[in-house]
Amino acid sequence: MVPAREPVPVRVSILFLAGLQAGMVAAFWMLVWLGISAMWMQRSFWSPANIMATVFHGERAIRPGLASTTPSGIALYLIIYSLLGAAFALAVRQRLTGLGTLLASILFSLAWYWLWFRVLALHFMPLVWLLHTERSTEFGHVIFGALLARFGDYLPRAHVETPVAVQAEAAD
């Protein structure tokens, strides 16, 4: 017999770290999608990271392929989206069902896409706004949101011990 697992009341710091981890994993897979979709459009796998690197390096970050500025674009994606994961985990906690958390996280990530790429980039990061591919970036945010909903998997679980008599029966 397998011991049952129940959710434990979680401290804010543990919830923050679980959201941070879920955000990092989700951002990684979003970047993989963005790279693959860039290759479909006859661009470099590193184009999305290079475009985000323009925040720090301006137009000299636009290079075909892996460049010295690419890691700063990757880092910006990972830092921002990890913090978004932590913010989402703190806001939602464990209040919603699994499907509710999934829907809320996808809406959250699409709202972030609209704020980051359509509002802030338009005014403060014009190269990001001009050069990002809209449809694949939107779908990348759906991927991010779907994976972000799994932040509860990174929370600790309590193991409910089975009585000794039940364990003895299971052994026979």
Tens digits of residue pLDDT in 117-140 = 888 888 787 777 777 778 889 999
Specify the pLDDT at position 107: 96
Q: Please tell me the predicted confidence (pLDDT) of residue 103.
A: 94
**Collapsing DSSP states into helix, strand and coil, what is residue 111?**
helix
Q: Give yes or no for residue 8 having a pLDDT over 90.
A: no
Q: Amino acid identity, residue 4? A: A
User: Contact 152/101 with Cβ under 8 angstroms?
Assistant: yes
Tell me if 1 is assigned to some domain: no
Q: Is residue 119 part of a domain?
A: yes
SS3 content of the chain, % helix, strand, coil (to 5): 75, 5, 20
Residue 140's pLDDT is 94
Least confident stretch, 27-41, 47-61, 104-118: 47-61
E strand map for 47-159: 157-159
Q: 53 or 160, which is more confident?
A: 53
Residue 36 lies in a domain: yes
What pLDDT does 165 receive? Answer: 55
Q: Tell me whether residue 4 is in a domain.
A: no
The number of helix segments (H) and strand segments (E) in the chain equals 8, 2
Residue 65 bridge partners (DSSP):
none
Q: Are 81 and 23 in contact (CB under 8 A)?
A: yes
Name the residue with tokens 């990092």: 24
Residue 3 resides in a domain:
no
- Domain range enclosing 117: 9-171
Tokens of 28: 């990684």
When divided into structural domains, the chain yields a total of 1
Q: Lowest-pLDDT range, 26-40, 55-69, 149-163? A: 149-163
Q: What is the pLDDT of residue 30?
A: 96
Q: Is residue 53 over pLDDT 60?
A: yes
Confidence of residue 86 (pLDDT cuts 50, 70, 90): very high
Mean pLDDT of 56-85: 91
Residue 2 domain-assigned? no
Residue 98 pLDDT > 70: yes
Q: How far is CA 149 from CA 12, 73, 96, in A?
A: 17, 24, 10
Query: What value does the mean pLDDT take over residues 22-33?
Result: 96
CA 106 – CA 94 distance, rounded (Å)? 16
Residue 3 has pLDDT above 80, yes or no: no
Residue 83 has pLDDT above 90, yes or no: yes
Cα–Cα nearest to 87, from 165, 157, 171, 17:
17
